[in-house]
Amino acid sequence: MSKKFWLSPLLLVIGMSTLLAVLPGMLGVKPVVLWTDRFIYLLVVAVIFLIAYIRHKPHLRQPWRHVLNNRQAMVAAVILCAYVAVGLLDSIHYRQPLQGEKAHNGEKLYSVEVFSALDALLSHLRERVEKTYSAPFAYRLYSMETMIASDGSQYRAYPRLKYGAAHLQDPASQRGRDILFKTLLGAGQGLIIFAVSVLLLLAYLARSQALSFKQAWRQCWRAESASALRIVLYTLAVLMVLSSVVWKLSFFYHVFGTDKVGQDVLYLALKSIRTGLVIGTLTTMIMLPFAILLGIMAGYFRGWVDDLIQYIYTTLSSVPSILLIAAAVLSIQVYMTNHPELFESVRDQADLKLLALCVVLGITSWTGLCRLLRGETLKLREMDYIQAATAFGVGRFTIIVRHLLPNVLHIVLIMVVLDFSGLVLAEAVLSYIGIGVDPSTISWGNMINGARLELAREPIVWWSLVAAFVFMFTLVLAANLFSDAVRDAFDPHLNMRDKT
């Protein structure tokens, strides 16, 4: 391993940012970077460097090896990666050029609507909007309409959908067979993609470890040490087949039905992933510097610094968090309504509101981490190596950065991973109370909120509720399983998970 661990991630980051900078020009679109996008890019860069750093340090590699060998955790990690991939695709925003129109100085004009790379990928879902509700795989609308027969008389019936199952002549009899056929076709395609990727992986393994292809095959599928790898491959297979089937079907049907204004529920559920991830990650990222700095300062300096910091976090944590969030979000709402000039567009405002929500959630959740770090620092500062550093005349700042910080980082990591799932769940609850993300932002909370009243209808409109819950549940479950493994690997004796 080379000494300069930062070299290859740096190249990767430079490569990725040039790609992001050059690609929009080639495709003729105008890139748009929202505020949350900036933080997400920053986070991605930080994670890339962190991974390189961890690979470089044996004592950090060790616990991660535990996680990598944990089968439950690896299944969870694959699912998390799928979510993250969707979320990242949804964080590259652009504006399309307007066809044929030019401003008088010859510049290109761009549409006001901001799309993301995910939108471009799912354009068939986004554009095929029905009139109102329709059930999953339906070919008729949910509600009856008055229609005119060929002889001029009026009658009431369920109209055919504009796009769902529109390719079928007689959907009532053909639909079952068509769905089965397309499912098998999609599954076949998924398996082919999976097989190709496994072959590529094996070829890479064979090359990097100087094995023959057959040996690599045997090592991958037989060896005891590769059991975690195998489970990853199985999960990947399931994921690829599933998504390929859904992808195939989504061109002909509304797989999860449509919502009140006729939007495809699958599209909404996929778009919600970004909102959930942003809340789960940016919140901790925003609060992290404060929590770390204040926690270590309180523990290391003691005296009045400690008193002051303790006072601040006791005060903040004594307010029930939901009320503190409500109070802060309400006053942000007032501020935003009174200062509309600060925002370029509605999209911009919704985005900043999402960021503000992250900040508010961060303010209410940093106290726990701060308290833990203070306690740990109190313990560490009496340790011999810190005493020795002090005796050698090492400055306080250096002691904090070089000796204390690295030794509390495992606590920080565990807390970040543990907090994630709770934050994703909190988003839905906050949206229900009315202090969550902007109503125009697509999120699971808003989906549930919009759909919950429709349960009273006859027949029941259950699909958007179920879709939102299933997508949210999968993410949270994967995050919970993964965080358990991380906690066990890094600190088996530290049980910091609060009851809440």
Partner 1 sequence: MLAYIVRRLLYAIPILIGVNLLTFSLFFLVNSPDDMARMHLGMKRVTPEAIVKWKQERGYDKPLMYNANISGLGAFTDTIFFEKSVSLFAFNFGSADDGRDIGFDISQRMWPSLAIAVPVFIVGILVNITFAMLLAFFRATYIDIWGVVLCVVLMSISALFYIIGGQFLIGKLLHLVPISGYDTGLSAVKFLILPVIIGIIGGIGAGSRWYRTIFLEEINRDYVRTARAKGLSELAVLFRHVLKNAMIPILTGAVVVIPALFMGSLLLESFFGIPGLGSYTIDAIRNQDFAIVRAMVFLGSVLYIFGLILTDISYTLVDPRIRLD
Contacts to partner 1 by CB under 8 A: 311-312, 314-316, 318-320, 322-324, 326-328, 330-331, 333-335, 337-338, 421, 425, 428-429, 432-435, 448, 452, 455-456, 465, 469, 472-473, 476-477, 480-481, 484, 495, 497-500
93 phi/psi in degrees, rounded to 5 = -105, 150
d(CA 169, CA 171): 6
Torsion sign across C-alpha atoms 430, 436, 441, 446 = positive
Q: Which one-letter DSSP state was computed for residue 452? A: G
**Least distance (Å) between residue 478 CB and partner 1:** 9
Identify which of residues 11 and 327 has a Cβ nearer to partner 1 in the complex: 327
Identify which of residues 66 and 497 has a Cβ nearer to partner 1 in the complex: 497
d(CA 467, CA 246): 13
Identify which of residues 395 and 434 has a Cβ nearer to partner 1 in the complex: 434
How many C-beta atoms lie closer than 10 Å to residue 67's C-beta? 18
Identify which of residues 408 and 472 has a Cβ nearer to partner 1 in the complex: 472
Identify which of residues 26 and 456 has a Cβ nearer to partner 1 in the complex: 456
**Least distance (Å) between residue 11 CB and partner 1:** 38
**Least distance (Å) between residue 469 CB and partner 1:** 5
Q: Of 456, 276, 438, which is closest to residue 346 (Cα–Cα)? A: 438
Instruction: Indicate the burial class of 2 (C-beta count within 10 angstroms; 0-12, 13-18, 19 or more).
Output: exposed
**Least distance (Å) between residue 194 CB and partner 1:** 27
Torsion sign across C-alpha atoms 217, 219, 223, 227 = negative
Task: Identify the bridge partners of residue 146 per DSSP, sorted by sequence position.
Answer: 156
Residue 148 CA, chain-centre distance (Å), reads 47
Structure tokens belonging to residue 440: 């125009």
Identify which of residues 204 and 311 has a Cβ nearer to partner 1 in the complex: 311
**Least distance (Å) between residue 75 CB and partner 1:** 12
Identify which of residues 333 and 349 has a Cβ nearer to partner 1 in the complex: 333
**Least distance (Å) between residue 135 CB and partner 1:** 17
Identify which of residues 294 and 425 has a Cβ nearer to partner 1 in the complex: 425
How many C-beta atoms lie closer than 10 Å to residue 444's C-beta? 27
In this structure, the chain runs to a length of 500
d(CA 136, CA 159): 16
d(CA 419, CA 283): 9
**Least distance (Å) between residue 269 CB and partner 1:** 14
Identify which of residues 204 and 473 has a Cβ nearer to partner 1 in the complex: 473
Residue 216 CA, chain-centre distance (Å), reads 34
**Least distance (Å) between residue 303 CB and partner 1:** 17
d(CA 469, CA 313): 34
Structure tokens belonging to residue 84: 């993250």
**What residue type is 351 in one-letter code?**
D
Q: Of 291, 264, 249, which is closest to residue 405 (Cα–Cα)? A: 291
Strand order, beta sheet including 93-102: 30-32, 93-102, 108-116
**Least distance (Å) between residue 361 CB and partner 1:** 15
**Least distance (Å) between residue 497 CB and partner 1:** 7
> Cα separations (Å) of 241 from 119, 142, 185, 244, 466?
22, 30, 10, 5, 21
Identify which of residues 81 and 193 has a Cβ nearer to partner 1 in the complex: 81
